Structure 1
Amino acid sequence: MKKRPTLVIMAAGMGSRYGGLKQIDPVGLNGEIIMDYSIYDARLAGFGKVVFVIKEEFYDIFKEKIGDRISKLENIEVKYVFQNIKSIPNKYKLPKDRIKPWGTGHAVLSCKDVIDEPFVVINADDFYGSTTFKLIYDELINQTDEYGYSMVGFQLDKTISKNGSVARGICTLDKENHLITVEEKTKIEEVSGTIYSFEDRQDSISGIAEPLKIELERNIPVSMNIWGFMPSIFKELELGFEKFLDENIGELKSEFYIPSVVDDLIKSKKATVKVIKTVEKWYGVTYQQDKEDVSKALQSMTPNVYPDRYINS
């Protein structure tokens, strides 16, 4: 019998723009945190295991706030994985001033000893919508290609914060909705009803950085870091991480990102990524001011979408 897919929740990062451990801030009507909603939706979809990727120093508080509760529920297994900046191949020496985690690719690679089934990767502080997990579950459970990966693509206009700029991966697809490229745009903002990407381009003559404003289509698909993988990704992450370290180990703020590995695999035609489009609205807490909007939205879904009791109790 095919194993049920696993849900991997990346929760090792501290939100620099938000300020603090936003992953465990209550937002629901009964004090739920965003992860509660993701786990509730994943359980309904059929996922059989949750893996929390955290910093070791947050283990006790994660167990207290969510892990112990989830482990008591039926038909769900709970695992913890620590993302440690010291976890690099022996042939490399950790720079003494490195304090920043190695990025999302390293976070997923940290799970290689606890997963041997298809799995989905999400951010701890993002709400993806009640139907999203069923969409990607169905894709994973029916996938037979060990290099057949997937991703949920959100409409750009359903992922914007009114409190500041956001970073988004702009996706280009082929006619079969397979991913061609993901282009990271680090400063996207809606101004007077139009969505723009703001970039600094250096003038070739003066050498002065000049802002470049590019209008983006509202319904263009973007990556919100919800990926569906087969276990084959771990070997590719190991190879990609070594390549990354060869080129960047001295760069103290450089990070090894999932899309960079996926992009290399697509270009080499080693893997395909099916983009599953959703019309769900994404909610997240990039900024402190976003929390009130997220709370109002999630509380409005009770009891029509979510039960009026604590959803994972």
Structure 2
Amino acid sequence: MATEQNNLTLVVLAGGLGSRFGGNKQITPLPKLERTIMELSIEDAFNAGIKQVVLIINKSVRAELEQVILPRLPNAMKVTLVEQSTDMLPTEFKHLAEHRTKPWGTGHALLCAKPHVKGPAVVITADDYYGPNAYKQMVEHFNQFQDASCMAMVAFPIEKTLSEQGGVNRGICEVEQCSLKRVTESLNIHQTEHGLVGEIEGKLHQLESQSLASMTFWGVTPILMAKLENGFEKFLEDYDSDVKKEYYLPNCIQACIESKHVSVRVYSAIDFWFGVTFKEELTSVAGKIYEHRQG
């Protein structure tokens, strides 16, 4: 029997400080659309059948979210706000929070959602726009696969994630028989007269335009949540004198794949991906999202 779609939770990682953007981009409305990327993503998820969302936020955006953004979300969407703070640590590591200014990373952000997520979850970032089809693909995945060891990701052909502002860094997915094997970081990916190239471990490599890039669109299960908790404690032990290191979600997922605790089924995205890093991109990205949503 298929899993009820309403068992799925959307988790939006919105706790970053937006230092390169120069402000809280999670709550910056897109020109012409007059809504944030996060709102559009929540609406797409809702239309795909996901009826509950957990927003992982930083304290500074809470008032604006509650007063301006939450009233614009679909009425039937159950919303839970969770503040990701630097002192959300196991008791024996609380002292590390005194010297920490930025959040502990995406792995810690998802861990903050753990008490509010009872089943599988779709995990996205607040400032990435993935298009409506990604959510439909994820709902179909969890309807088809009931096993908690079978996770998923929607990955985007690199050509659908390039920027007019210059080279981009992407995690290139190595896929075998529809399953993720690993994600390899490729830097400064850009078009040349000979096609796409990117730098991997200091060397320039030719890349296929259809190669899949990980853009933080994961379908996770309670198995990962348990592993995140153990992994975070180990991370804190290993780096207890380095308070700038971050605990990254993909690293934990990779460890789970290698230890065979989970497999991650990879789906190729149908829509384009759009993201905003710098304020200067806002108008251009907004225009493209507007066109896609009209289409």
Establish whether TM, by shorter chain, passes 0.5. yes
Moved more, 149-158 or 189-198: 189-198
Report the counterpart of residue 110 of structure 1 in structure 2: 112
The equivalent of 1:307 in structure 2 is none
Residue from 260, 285, 288 that aligns with 2:279? 288
Maintained 8 Å contact 2:96/2:243: no
The equivalent residue for 2:66 is 63
Aligned-pair CA distance for 1:50: 1.2
Greater Cα offset, 190-199 or 43-52: 190-199
Amino acid at match of 2:28: D
Is residue 2:266 matched to residue 1:266? no
Indicate the residue corresponding to 2:181 in structure 1: 180
Partner AA of 1:289 in structure 2: E
Which residue type is aligned with residue 194 of structure 1? G
For residues 191 and 32 of structure 1, what CA distance do their matches in structure 2 show?
35
1:131-164 CA-partner distances (Å, limit 9, x unpaired): 1110111112332111211000100111111213
Alignment CA distance shift 1:58-1:26 (3 Å): closer
Output the CA distance in 1 between the equivalents of 2:105 and 2:28. Answer: 22
Q: CA deviation at 1:47?
A: 0.1
- 1:23: how far off? 1.4
Partner Cα distance (1:228, 1:300) in 2: 27
| Distance change (3 Å), C-alpha of 1:19 and 1:198 | farther
Cα offsets for 1:167-194 (capped at 9, x unmatched): 321110112x100001123443344573
The one-character-per-residue Cα deviations of 1:97-148 (angstroms, maximum 9, x if unpaired) are 3212111010000011111021101010111012111011111233211121
- Offset at 1:16? 2.7
How far off its partner does 1:288 sit?
2.3
Q: What corresponds to 2:98 in structure 1?
A: 96
Q: Equivalent residues in 2 for 1:246-261 (5 A)?
A: 246-261=237-252
Please tell me whether the aligned partners of residues 117 and 231 of structure 1 are also in contact (alpha carbons under 8 angstroms): yes
Contact 1:100 1:252 in 2 (8 A): no
Structure 2, unmatched stretches of 5+, are none
Tell whether the 8 Å contact from 2:24 to 2:61 is kept in structure 1 after alignment.
no
- Residue of structure 1 equivalent to 2:78: 77
- CA–CA separation in structure 2 for the residues paired with 1:74 and 1:53: 20
Structure 1 300/55 Cα, relative in aligned 2: closer, same or farther at 3 Å? same
Task: Give the aligned partner of residue 224 of structure 2.
Answer: 233
1:40 Cα offset (Å): 1.4
* Partner residue in 1 for 2:50: 47
Q: Output the TM-score relative to the length of structure 1.
A: 0.87
Structure 1's unaligned 5+ residue stretches are 202-211, 305-313
CA contact (8 A) 2:198 2:205 kept: yes
**Amino acid corresponding to residue 63 of structure 2 in structure 1:** D
Find the residue that maps to 1:234 and give its secondary structure: helix
CA contact (8 A) 1:24 1:65 kept: no
Which residue identity lines up with residue 104 of structure 1 in the other structure?
T
Q: Residue in 1 aligned with 2:171?
A: 169
Q: Who is 1:29 aligned against?
A: 32
Q: Secondary structure at the match of 1:52?
A: strand
- TM-fit CA distance, 1:218: 1.4
Q: Which stretch shows the higher mean deviation, 49-58 or 183-192?
A: 183-192
SS of 2:55 mapped into structure 1: strand
1:265: Cα distance to partner? 0.8
Q: Compare 180-189 and 29-38 and name the one that shifted more.
A: 180-189
Q: Does 1:15 align with 2:18?
A: yes
